[in-house]
Amino acid sequence: MTTAVLAALDERHPWFGELDAEHRSWITVVARGGIDGFVQWVADDPEVAFDPANVFAAAPRALTRNISLHQTVDLMRTTITVVEEQVQHLVPDEDRPVLQTAIVHYSREVAFAAAEVYARAAEVRGAWDARMEALVVDAIVRAEADESMVSRASTLGWNSGSKVFVAVGRVHPEGDPAITRLRRQARRMKLDVLAAIQGDRLVLVASGPEVTDDQAAVEVTERLVEYFGEGHVVIGPLVEDLVEAPLSARAATSGLRASDAWPEGARALPATELLPERVLAGDGHARRALAREVFEPLRAAGGDLLETCVSFLDHGCSVEATARDLFVHANTVRYRIKRIQDVTGYSPTDARDAYVLRLSITLGRLAAAQR
């Protein structure tokens, strides 16, 4: 019967002929174990205990990684068919109905045993993948990303050549089920994602062909915020690849720590919009960023922009009072205010932007005094 099964597999299933000798030999062992088990089961010898899972016990665990569940089903179906055919030739007519019924019951038990074997293998692989993913995310958060970390990420299916960003928020009350839904939604959005829970926060590393700038990263995150817990989800700046992801993670984690100081902010909040709060929370990178990206351009632009900005803020954002203080026309003040916005990206006429400008000027002057 075993010889007939192997001949049928070779004839009916092209994948069997493509296997190497080792895997073919292990399939032979499984087929022989199934047939021997059927003989023992039908004999119902009380001294021989039979467990359907023993059919697969002889094969190494690695076989489940090389032989798919679909191929195992092909093996079982072909084996059952061949045994039924052989029964027609080897057994007297009066015994055939009993054996046909026995084959049905036995094949059901073996099918459940096969499903259990592959389910356990999937659980082991899933647990291993989860640990590996947590290690990769932890390396990014701890700024220990290198090529070995990229290699580990690739084993998890990360193959994106697009830019990367990190988003950090609180963990959803449902925990892992929410992360599972997040992954499903990310796949629909054609995103590569790595996600891991660290304490009470969820760290998401994401990349995709549509994420081309920081605004796109925010828009993508807005579609995923429902899978985070309450509070802000802070998005770090976009970086070129996974090796540079710690830069984005550092800004995002710092922003999340400081985000409670600005509850009026949007749910999905770029870390750059939390620079003042991050400075007050002790983030040195945010302090240097404000001085470098706001104060320095404002001072270098000339045209009395820095003096006008300070005066405008000191006089309660009044154009007329600023014009009197600087001895210039009000339209000159309005022109300089527009230039300030062009140079820094912040408008002194907006309350939030005025706060950022005031803090930037203070930090820039302190940094200049220390040089």
* Span 295-308, pLDDT tens digits: 999 999 987 999 99
- For residue 14, the model assigns a pLDDT of 84
Work out the average pLDDT over 240-262: 92
Q: Which amino acid is at 81?
A: T
pLDDT for residue 218? 94
pLDDT score, position 237: 94
Indicate whether this model's pTM tops 0.75: no
| pLDDT tier, 167 (very low <50, low <70, confident <90, very high otherwise) | very high
% of the chain surpassing 70 pLDDT: 90
Best CA proximity match to 171, nearest among 235, 129, 227: 227
Distance between CA atoms of residues 63 and 44, nearest Å: 30
- The whole-number pLDDT of residue 67 equals 73
pLDDT band, very low/low/confident/very high, at 37 (cuts 50, 70, 90) = confident
Q: Which residues of 13-30 are buried (b: 16+ CB within 10 A; e: fewer)?
A: eeebeebeeebeebbebb
Q: For 68-97, how does the pLDDT look when each residue is reduced to its tens digit (9 = 90+)?
A: 777 777 777 888 888 888 877 777 888 878
Q: What is the mean pLDDT of residues 231-257?
A: 93
Q: Which of the four pLDDT bands, split at 50, 70 and 90, describes residue 335?
A: very high
Residue 206: beta bridge partners? 165, 193
- How would you classify residue 172: left for phi > 0, otherwise alpha for psi between -120 and 50, otherwise beta? beta
Mean pLDDT for 169-191 is: 91
Query: Which of 67-81, 115-129, 338-352 is the least confident region?
Result: 115-129
State the average pLDDT for the chain.
86
* pLDDT tens figures, 199-226: 899 999 999 888 999 999 999 999 999 9
Q: Label residue 124 by pLDDT band (50, 70, 90).
A: low
| Structure confidence at residue 153 (pLDDT) | 83
pLDDT at 105: 80
CA 144 to CA 244: how far, in whole Å? 10
Q: What is the mean pLDDT of residues 238-265?
A: 92
What is d(CA 218, CA 255) in angstroms, rounded to the nearest whole number?
Answer: 14
User: 260 with 246: CB under 8 angstroms?
Assistant: no
